[in-house]
Structure 1
Amino acid sequence: MNERKGSTLNFVELWEQWKEHGDVEAKKQLIEKHLPIVDYVSGRLAVGLPKNVSKDDLSSNGVMGLIDAVEKFDYKRGLQFETYASWRVRGAILDGLRQGDWVPRSVREKSKKLEEGYQQLEQQYLRSVTDSEMSDYLNISEREFQNLLQEVAVMTLCSLEDPIREEESETRLTLLVDEKAKNPDYKVREFYLKDSLTKGIEKLTEKERTVVSLLYYEDLSLSEIAEVMSLSPSRISQLHSKAILRLRGSLEKHRDLLMQED
């Protein structure tokens, strides 16, 4: 059994043994085989977190997410487990961070104020606003504005399992689940989500779009993006923060419009 543990054929057999026969040993092997996913995801998330956040805590929460993924994954659908598990691991780590109150309330309030500022000014000017305009809106200097972006950078880490709105249970993940039969309400919400994201990305500056593309589509880390763009890691972090704050504002605005049409 151990000699065939790493083979593709044995991997399928492990899923069959676990899902069809409840073989706990097979489940254990599936978890052990995919532990590198936890190391990879926790390592990437750790880059943008404060130093007081323990990487061991990230890994522990990540393992819980991996276990949950192994328990819920349907291998018969032909989907790639690594992708599914990565989202589950990332969601579990972020859930653990939120429950641990890793971000001071003051930082959350500052992040919300920035998000509202971008949403209000871009709705007013119908374009991407400059750092100077945001500084004026917040009544602070541009240097203080840059420091503020750096301070709230940890808040721009978001999970597909985060609620779309704080008071609701519906998450971004529920809009992306691959279901064979999609009801009309699902299709409408999916359309508005994609449309809102598209419009939001179009309003980003070229550098912000590049950071988003390299981080979420090319899967580069912030430090790797800094090398590619010949900018400092702190500058990349600021660009990422601004991009996410703008996108969140765009999603909120279009969701409010959708709710008004109901």
Structure 2
Amino acid sequence: MIEPKAPHLSNIEIWQKWKEEGDIEAKKRLIEQYLTLVDYVSNRMAIGLPKNVSKDDLASNGVMGLIDAIEKFDYRRGLQFETYASWRIRGAIIDGLRQGDWVPRSVREKAKKIEEAYQHLEQQYLRSVTDAEISHYLEVSEKEFVHMLQEIAVTTVCSLEDPIREEESETRLSLLVDEKAKNPDYKVHEFYLKESLVRGIERLTAKERTVVSLFYYDELSLSEIAEVMCLSPSRISQLHSKAILRLRGALDKQKDQLMEH
């Protein structure tokens, strides 16, 4: 079996047969070859989701994302297929979760309130705000705020994979990846989004930055991060939630400006 590495080099003939000759057998071979990506992404995204969310459903949606990736991938650009496919798989799984309405409206509303609180206070103070300041703004105790974070933890697992525009697949996280040159208008938007993301990351606490780095770049699970940082999984979940809500707040203003264009 051909190893799924550097497909634009080692699998060039398979991609040519599928893309240039429309060979269905070549397409099937690519799907079979990269099914392990679906398992990896779906298992990773299952972490922290409610027990009523079926892993089989995640995987089924992920397969649809993989097929979509294989149909749209341009092997001639010299990009890494695994990275591109992972975005598509995650996107398909997130779409499936949204359609299933797996998070109660009350939990989504709490997440939005906290996100708006971070956005308002950090724009006002131009620094990272404390739990006490957020709690005061929300008119709840710090204990209640921690409980709120625990409730909304599942809504933040996929947050950086949310699309910048509803009709497109470009995500906030994908802005960190250097791609081929795009049109000038897009590059201007991309530049300001990156700047907003950088400022948002700078305002995270040291522990929050570590969690984001280990989760999104080193691709450790939350339980693995807990072991690395010698903290409880629930504490890591709280740090992750706060980090993502801070980042979403920092990006929302720029996102609104993008939507206007």
Do both proteins adopt the same fold according to a TM-score greater than 0.5, normalized to the shorter chain?
yes
Assess if the C-alpha contact under 8 Å between 2:226 and 2:232 holds in 1.
yes
Please give the secondary structure, in 1, of the residue aligned with 2:11.
helix
Aligned residue in 1 for 2:152: 152
Compared with structure 1, are the counterparts of its residues 10 and 131 closer, same or farther at alpha carbon in structure 2 (3 Å cutoff)?
A: closer
Compared with structure 1, are the counterparts of its residues 197 and 181 closer, same or farther at alpha carbon in structure 2 (3 Å cutoff)?
A: closer
Aligned residue in 1 for 2:130: 130
Aligned residue in 1 for 2:19: 19
TM-score by length of 1: 0.89
Amino acid at match of 1:48: G
Q: CA offsets, 1:168-187, max 9 Å, x none?
A: 54564498597755322112
Q: CA offsets, 1:165-210, max 9 Å, x none?
A: 6xx5456449859775532211210110110001010001000010
Compared with structure 1, are the counterparts of its residues 209 and 169 closer, same or farther at alpha carbon in structure 2 (3 Å cutoff)?
A: same
Which of 1 and 2 has greater Rg?
A: 1
Q: CA deviation at 1:164?
A: 2.7
Aligned residue in 2 for 1:6: 2
**Mind listing any 5+ residue stretches in structure 2 that lack a counterpart?**
none
Please give the secondary structure, in 2, of the residue aligned with 1:103.
coil
* Distance of 1:39 and 1:25 partners within structure 2: 22
Aligned residue in 1 for 2:105: 105
Aligned residue in 1 for 2:44: 44
Amino acid at match of 2:50: P
Amino acid at match of 1:185: D
Compared with structure 1, are the counterparts of its residues 46 and 148 closer, same or farther at alpha carbon in structure 2 (3 Å cutoff)?
A: same
Q: What value does the CA root-mean-square deviation take over the aligned residues?
A: 2.4
Q: CA deviation at 1:158?
A: 3.0
Aligned residue in 2 for 1:245: 245
* Distance of 1:257 and 1:93 partners within structure 2: 27
* Distance of 1:133 and 1:40 partners within structure 2: 39
Aligned residue in 2 for 1:58: 58
Amino acid at match of 1:209: R
Please give the secondary structure, in 1, of the residue aligned with 2:111.
helix
Assess if the C-alpha contact under 8 Å between 1:91 and 1:160 holds in 2.
no
* Distance of 2:170 and 2:160 partners within structure 1: 5
Amino acid at match of 1:164: I
* Distance of 2:167 and 2:209 partners within structure 1: 29
Please give the secondary structure, in 1, of the residue aligned with 2:49.
coil
Amino acid at match of 1:61: N
Assess if the C-alpha contact under 8 Å between 2:30 and 2:70 holds in 1.
yes
Q: CA deviation at 1:133?
A: 1.4
Amino acid at match of 1:198: V
**Mind listing any 5+ residue stretches in structure 1 that lack a counterpart?**
none
Amino acid at match of 2:40: Y
* Distance of 1:258 and 1:178 partners within structure 2: 20
Compared with structure 1, are the counterparts of its residues 68 and 116 closer, same or farther at alpha carbon in structure 2 (3 Å cutoff)?
A: same
Q: CA deviation at 1:124?
A: 2.1
1:1-262 aligned within 5 A = 5-6=1-2, 11-158=11-158, 162-164=162-164, 169=167, 172-173=170-171, 176=175, 180=180, 182-255=182-255
* Distance of 1:171 and 1:24 partners within structure 2: 25
Amino acid at match of 1:215: F
Compared with structure 1, are the counterparts of its residues 253 and 31 closer, same or farther at alpha carbon in structure 2 (3 Å cutoff)?
A: same
TM-score by length of 2: 0.89
Assess if the C-alpha contact under 8 Å between 2:164 and 2:255 holds in 1.
no
Q: CA deviation at 1:47?
A: 0.6
